[in-house]
Structure 1
Amino acid sequence: MAEDDGKVKCVDENGAATSPQVLRRVNARRVLEYAWRAGAFTASDAMAATGLTRSTVIGVCDELLRQGWLDELRDARAVGAYTKGRPARRYALRDRAAVVIGVDAGHDHISATVADLRGTPIGRHGAEIAAVRPDRPERLADAGRRRALVRTAIDGALADAGVDASSVLAITVAVPAPVDRDGASPVENPFWRVANPGYSEFLGADAAVVTVENDANLAAIAERSAPDGGGRDADSFIALMTGEGMGAGLMIDGRLIRGRRGAAGELRFLDHVDGVGSSDGLALLARRWAVEAITASEVGEGALAHLDPATLDEAEVGLAAASGDPAAVAITDRLAERLARICLVLGDLLDVDRVVVGGTVADTLPDVIDRAGRILDDSDDPTAPELRRSALGEDSVTIGAIEHALAEVRSRALDLTPSARPAA
C-alpha cells in the first residue's frame, strides 16, 4: 500500500499500481504456491519465502482456510517447536481437499490413477485390452469401447481411493497419438483417430480441467519431475517411448516441444533413415523378427525354437537372448544397432544431452538398451547423446499425467473450488 495526495493505493511487488482485488489474488497465489512446496509452515515461514508482511500472510491464510485449500494444524507450542510468547499458528496444504486423475489410454491397456494434491497415488484401476498394432488399425478396440474402458477405469480408481467423483479437479489423459492444444489428434491416420476418440468432450463434465496429451510428452514431464527421473539433471533430453511404435517427448532447454499439431516427436522421418526405415517400436520388431526366424527354421535347437509364433512376446525373445540362444542374440544385437542409430540421428538433429528409453521395453528388453548405450559410448560422434533406461518403467506415462494434471490445478487454483468434504 502507498499514499498519493492523501489517497491510499495498492502497488504490487514491482511498485506498479494495481487494484486491491488483483493484489489480494497475487498474494494468495504466492502463499498457495509456497504451501504446495512446503510441509507444515507458520506465518513467519511464509513471510520469509514470499516477502509478504505478517498481516498479509495471516489474512491470506485465513482466506485459503475458508476456501478449503489449507488446514490449520496444532500450534507450534503443542508440537514442541515453540516455548515462549504467543504460540505460532501452523498451516499446511490440505492434501485431500481434492484429487486429480491421470489416465494412461495406451495401445493395449487403459488405466486410471487417482492422486492427492501432493501427487501421491491413492487409487488405481486398469484393464488390458486386445493387442494393438499401429500397422493393423482394424485390430484396434473401437472408439466406443475405449471410451467405455476409460470410464470404467476412472470409476474403479475413485472407488479404490474411496473418494467421490465431485472431488476431482483435473484429469489428464495420455494417448499414443499426436495431440494439438485443443486435445484433438490429426484425422489422416486411422490409428490416431481411434487412439484418441474425443476424450476431451467425453470427460468434459467430469472435472473442471480435462486435458489430452501425447504419452511420450507426458513421459518427458515425468522424467523431468520425478525424483528418479532420467531428465532431472539434463537441460535437453528425449524421452523415447518404443513399444509397438516409437515416439519421443522432446524436452529442449527445459521446455517441452510439441509442434503445431502436437506431432513434433512422432519420428516419422525415420522412414527415410538408412538402417532404420520406419518408426516401428522395439517390441513389435522383436516379435516380428523372432517369428520370421522361427518360420524360416533359422533358430536351431535354442530357446526360440520352443516359442509359439502366434503368442510370443518381446520379453521371451529377451530371455532367450539372455540364455545365449544365438538366434535371439542376433535379434537383440540388431535391435541395439537400430536403437543406437536412431539416437545418433536424434543427437545430430536436436543436440540433446541424453535419451531416456521408457515404456515396457525398459523392463522387457534391458539388454538391448544397454548394448545400444555401449555402441554410442564407443562412437566417435561428438553429438552422440548419453543413453539411459528409464527408472520409472511402465509408470512413466501415469506419473507424467498426474504431474500435468496437478500443474493445471496449480495454475488455476484460485478459480477452482476444492471439495468441502475431506477425502477418505
Structure 2
Amino acid sequence: MTVSIRRETPQRASIAAVLEHAWDAGTFRADDIMDRTGLTRSTTISGIDSLIELGLVRELANARTEHGYRTGRPARRFELCADAGMVVGMDAGRAHVTTILADLRGHRLATTSFETDLDADADQRRRDLTESLDATLRAVDAPRSELLSVCVGVPAPVDADGRSPSHRDGFWPKSNPELLTHITPWAPIVQLSNDASLAALAEGTEGAAQDSDNYVALLSGARFGMGVVIDGHLLHGRHGGVGETVVFGRIEGVDDPDGLGQTIARWARQELAAGRIGPEHPLAQLPPALVTAQHVLQLAHEGDSASRELTARAAAMLSRITGMIGSFYDPEIVVVSGAVSAGIHDVVAAARSTLAEELDLPAPRLIASTLGAEVVAIGAVAAAVAAARDGVLALTPERTFAR
C-alpha cells in the first residue's frame, strides 16, 4: 500500500489528526481518537494503519489480561513509535556548545557540552558544531541517518531565512556564519533560532511559564537577551531581533547589556582591584580571572557583607530592567534564565520588592528559572520536536520509519 500525503486531501488530514493524537497520548485506542477528533471508525482505523505502515505508530500486545477482558475481542491498543527517529537541540553559545539528543517525544537520550571560542574563524565555528553533534550521536552509537529534526540556537537575531544581520563589532555574523547552510545536510528538518527565543520556548513548555501566554525569558549570563511571548505567540520581528538588548545601555543604572553573571563578576574584580575588598576575603584567594558571579552569589547568601553589596546593586539593576520590560510588553511573568539562575534567587527576591516603583502597569511576576544552563538546548529540543510533528508526514512516502 502506498500512502500519498503530499496534497491536502481528506486522507492526509485524517492521518495528520491521528498522528497528532498519537504524539500527545501514551497508549491509545481508536475510540480515543474518535472521541477527540470526530472521525468515523473506518477513517480512524485507516489512518492508524497508514501510520503503522509508515513506522510512526505501533500496535501493542493483546490487552485482554491488562484490562480484565473475559469474553469478546479486546480493543486494539497503539502508541507512537517515539524511537522511529531522533531530534537534536543545540545551544551554540559564546563559550560552549551544548547538544541534547532526544527521541520524538523529547525524552533525552544523550547530552554533550564542549568549549568553543567565537573569536575563532567561521570554519572552526562550523567544525565545533559538527564535532558536538557527532560526539552526542556516538554516545548512543547512532548514525546521522536516524535524525529527523535539528534545531540550533545562536546568540544573534535570526530571520526567517536563517540569516543574522550585520553588527557593529561583527559579533552576530561570528555567531551565525551561514550556519543554516552548514546544518542542512544533518537532517530532513532543520532550523536555526535565536537563543533567547529558545529559552522562552523552554520556559513555556517545561519551565516557570508553563501556564502563561504572556511572559519574557530574560537570559542573564554573559549578556542579556529576551525571548518574548505575548498572547501565546513567540515574537520575532523582521530580522528576528525582538528582544535584543542594546537599549539596556541607555537605562540609567544599567549602562550596558552585559548580563547579571558577567556584571556581578566584573564588579567583584573592580572592587578587588581597588582594594575595597581586602586580601583576606575569600574572593581575593582566587585569580581575578576566575572570580565568577556564582562565587559572589554564594558568599552573599552566606551573609558576606561585601558580596551582599554587590548583589544589592544587581537587584537594583534587575528591578530597573524588569520595569522596562513590563512597560514595553506588559507580561505576566519575567523569568530570569540561564546558568546564573541557579544562584540568583536572593537577587530576584530583592528586585521583586522594588519592582512596583519602576512602572505604572501592574508589575509582572519576577521569578528565577529552574532549567539552569541547559535552558537554550532544552528549548531547541522542544522546537525540534514541534518541527518534526509538523513536518514528518511531508517526508513520506519517500522516507519510512519502520525498523
Kept in 2: contact 1:303–1:325 (CA 8 A): no
- After superposition, residues 158-307 of structure 1 pair within 5 angstroms as 158-189=137-168, 190-226=170-206, 229-300=207-278, 301-307=280-286
Confirm or deny that 1:157 pairs with 2:136: yes
Match of 2:3 in 1: none
SS at match of 1:110: strand
Confirm or deny that 1:386 pairs with 2:365: yes
Distance in 2, matches of 1:32 and 1:421, equals 15
- Deviation of the 1:420 alpha carbon: 3.7
Kept in 2: contact 1:166–1:419 (CA 8 A): no
Match of 1:401 among 369, 380, 396: 380
SS at match of 2:67: coil
- Unpaired runs of 5+ residues, structure 2, are 1-5
Does the C-alpha gap of structure 1 residues 90 and 323 become closer, same or farther in structure 2, counting only changes over 3 Å?
Answer: closer
- After superposition, residues 100-179 of structure 1 pair within 5 angstroms as 100-130=87-117, 140-179=119-158
- Deviation of the 1:250 alpha carbon: 0.3
Structure with the bigger RCO (C-alpha within 8 Å, sep 6+) is: 2
- Deviation of the 1:63 alpha carbon: 0.8
Q: Which of 392-401 and 412-421 deviates more?
A: 412-421
How many residues were matched structurally? 394
Distance in 1, matches of 2:368 and 2:123, equals 35
Query: Which amino acid counterpart does residue 209 of structure 1 have in structure 2?
Result: I
SS at match of 1:102: strand
Distance in 2, matches of 1:126 and 1:211, equals 20
Confirm or deny that 1:339 pairs with 2:318: yes
Distance in 1, matches of 2:359 and 2:184, equals 51
- Deviation of the 1:377 alpha carbon: 5.9
Kept in 1: contact 2:335–2:369 (CA 8 A): yes
- Deviation of the 1:118 alpha carbon: 0.8
Q: Which of 277-286 and 98-107 deviates more?
A: 277-286
Match of 2:79 in 1: 92
Distance in 2, matches of 1:41 and 1:336, equals 49
Query: Which amino acid counterpart does residue 226 of structure 2 have in structure 1?
Result: A
Kept in 2: contact 1:102–1:398 (CA 8 A): yes
Kept in 2: contact 1:111–1:153 (CA 8 A): yes
- Unpaired runs of 5+ residues, structure 1, are 1-18, 133-139
- Deviation of the 1:268 alpha carbon: 1.4
Distance in 2, matches of 1:395 and 1:280, equals 19
Deviation per CA, 1:90-123: give whole Å up to 9, x if none.
1110010011100111111102111101110112
Query: Which amino acid counterpart does residue 394 of structure 1 have in structure 2?
Result: A
TM-score when scaled to structure 2?
A: 0.93
Kept in 1: contact 2:249–2:257 (CA 8 A): yes
Distance in 2, matches of 1:381 and 1:193, equals 38
Match of 2:340 among 361, 365, 381: 361
Distance in 1, matches of 2:139 and 2:61, equals 30
Match of 1:373 in 2: 352
Match of 1:137 in 2: none
SS at match of 2:238: coil
Kept in 2: contact 1:336–1:369 (CA 8 A): yes
- Deviation of the 1:204 alpha carbon: 0.9
Match of 1:352 in 2: 331
Kept in 1: contact 2:53–2:402 (CA 8 A): no
SS at match of 1:367: helix
SS at match of 2:377: helix
Match of 1:8 in 2: none
Distance in 2, matches of 1:51 and 1:81, equals 28
Distance in 2, matches of 1:310 and 1:76, equals 62
Q: Which of 237-246 and 368-377 deviates more?
A: 368-377
Does the C-alpha gap of structure 1 residues 20 and 211 become closer, same or farther in structure 2, counting only changes over 3 Å?
Answer: closer
Match of 2:34 among 22, 44, 47: 47
Distance in 1, matches of 2:210 and 2:289, equals 41
Match of 2:304 in 1: 325
Deviation per CA, 1:246-291: give whole Å up to 9, x if none.
0000000110011110111012112222222221111111121111
TM-score when scaled to structure 1?
A: 0.88
Kept in 1: contact 2:54–2:402 (CA 8 A): no
Query: Which amino acid counterpart does residue 318 of structure 1 have in structure 2?
Result: L
Distance in 1, matches of 2:68 and 2:234, equals 42
Query: Which amino acid counterpart does residue 74 of structure 2 have in structure 1?
Result: P
Q: Which of 315-324 and 38-47 deviates more?
A: 315-324
Does the C-alpha gap of structure 1 residues 246 and 21 become closer, same or farther in structure 2, counting only changes over 3 Å?
Answer: closer
Kept in 1: contact 2:55–2:84 (CA 8 A): yes
Deviation per CA, 1:115-168: give whole Å up to 9, x if none.
1011101122221235x6xxxxxxx23322221111111111112133221111
Q: Which of 270-279 and 59-68 deviates more?
A: 270-279
Distance in 2, matches of 1:305 and 1:212, equals 42
Kept in 2: contact 1:169–1:207 (CA 8 A): yes
Percent identical pairs in the alignment equals: 39
